[in-house]
Structure formats: structure tokens, C-alpha cells
Amino acid sequence: MTSLAPLIAPSILSADFARLGAEVDAVLAAGADVVHFDVMDNHYVPNLTIGPLVCEALRKHGVTAPIDVHLMVKPVDRIIPDFARAGASWISFHPEASEHVDRTIGLIREHGCQPGLVFNPATPLSWLEHTLHQIDLVLIMSVNPGFGGQKFIPEALRKIEAVRRLIDASGREIRLEVDGGIKADNIEAIARAGADTFVAGSAIFGQKDYGAVIGAMKQAIAAGRRPEPLRA
């Protein structure tokens, strides 16, 4: 059973970059909990986005909410201290992109951030076998990484359920985050599968009224997390 409070993490990939500070303020004022920060290097994924300077700029702008840095870069380790200094809260990475996964997890922790592992749609959960006891976040990709606005891959639901079982069995407080194609109309099923942290880019920033879409998402999550009624 999911126990951590649900969090909405808008992906700023779909924000208006010319007005990024105001966009982040607006989405947090509208009820978002976490800033999801997509870092792409045009090498590990075929797109290029933002780095530590932008993270630092958001902190200087006054953002105090957790910043959830999703690294889609290869190699990984070189950039971790820079993001820690820039004010990152959580740093997650794709295990395929690191030569030494255990070392990378340790590096994130040493620099005062919370480490997470990210799983692409075809990446097996076996990476968790020797890492789950060390991480604070598992991020399941429900699209292939690289772009916002893609369609949710339904097979991700089975994977979320499997991770939920692993986390519950571990007895540790580990967030289960899902990223890609999340909308108000599929978020209930994602919550029911066991997720507690929901990334949404285009579904939030593509609407005029951020509060309305975040409110609808929170309601749907609550419905998905409601315990099943007891049968007579």
C-alpha cells in the first residue's frame, strides 16, 4: 500500500523558457509540489535542454520547493557536484548511462542530494536488486526519454506494480515516480498501480489554468489511492 503523500511534479520542459521563473512560481502557486528538471545532453538522448546554471537561477529567483533533477546524460558523474551546488534536491540517473552505478549513487548522497534510479520502458528492474537499499527514488519512464508530449506506454503500469511490491518489501521510504504521458485522465490508474510522485509536462503547461489541471489530477490520484471497499 502506498504510504508517502502524493506529489505532483510539473516537468518544466514544457514551460515557456523565456519566462521560466514566473512559470515555476505559477505552477507552484497552483498546487504543484516539486519542480521536475529534465537534463538532456544530445548524446544519451537526442535532445538538448538545461543544466546547473538554470537550476541555480531558479534557486536565486526564490524557488524553495524540491528540485527533482532527472539526468538524461552520459557520462553522469562529472555533472553531479555542479547540480548539488546549484541547489538540486533529488538527482536521478539512468543506470545504463553510468559505468559504476554504486559509485554514482554514493556521489549523489555525498553531495547532500537524494539519489534515484530511472528505468526506460525496456530497462529491467534487476538493476534494483543491489541498489534499492541505497536509493530514495525509483523513476519509471512511461515514454522513451528525450521529448515531452509523447503517449503513455500502458505496459508501464505492470512495472509500477512490480516496483511497488519491491519498495513495500524493502520497508524503506522510497518514492515511486512516473514520468511521461501523464494526464488527468490516466493518473488514477497510475496511482492505483502504486505510484506516489507524478511528473507531467505538456498536460499542465499546455493548459491555461494550471490550478484546474493540478486540482483535477489530485482528485483523480485520491480516487486511485482509496482502499478497495471490503466485499461481503
Tell me which residues touch ligand DX5 (CB under 6 A). Answer: 11, 13-14, 36, 38, 70, 143, 145-146, 148-150, 179-182, 199-203
* CB contact at 8 A, 127 and 101: yes
Least distance to ligand DX5, CB of residue 114, Å: 18
As a whole number of angstroms, the distance between CA 147 and CA 38 comes to: 10
Q: How far is CA 199 from the centre of its chain?
A: 5
Could you tell which of Zn ion, ligand DX5, none binds residue 86, using a CB distance below 5 to 8 A set by kind? none
Nearer to ligand DX5, 106 or 154 (CB): 154
SS3 call for 46: coil
Q: How far is CA 153 from the centre of its chain?
A: 16
The count of other CB atoms within 10 Å of the CB of residue 14 is 18
Nearer to ligand DX5, 70 or 175 (CB): 70
The verdict on 179 binding Zn ion (CB under 5 A) reads yes
Nearer to ligand DX5, 70 or 159 (CB): 70
Least distance to ligand DX5, CB of residue 204, Å: 8
Could you tell which of Zn ion, ligand DX5, none binds residue 32, using a CB distance below 5 to 8 A set by kind? none
Q: Which residue's CB comes closest to ligand DX5?
A: 201
Catalytic positions:
38, 179
Nearer to ligand DX5, 38 or 41 (CB): 38
Rounded alpha-carbon distances, angstroms, from residue 125 to 122, 128, 131:
9, 6, 11
As a whole number of angstroms, the distance between CA 68 and CA 138 comes to: 12
Residue 55: name the closest of 30, 91, 103 by CA. 91
Residues interacting with Zn ion, by CB under 5 A?
Answer: 38, 70, 179
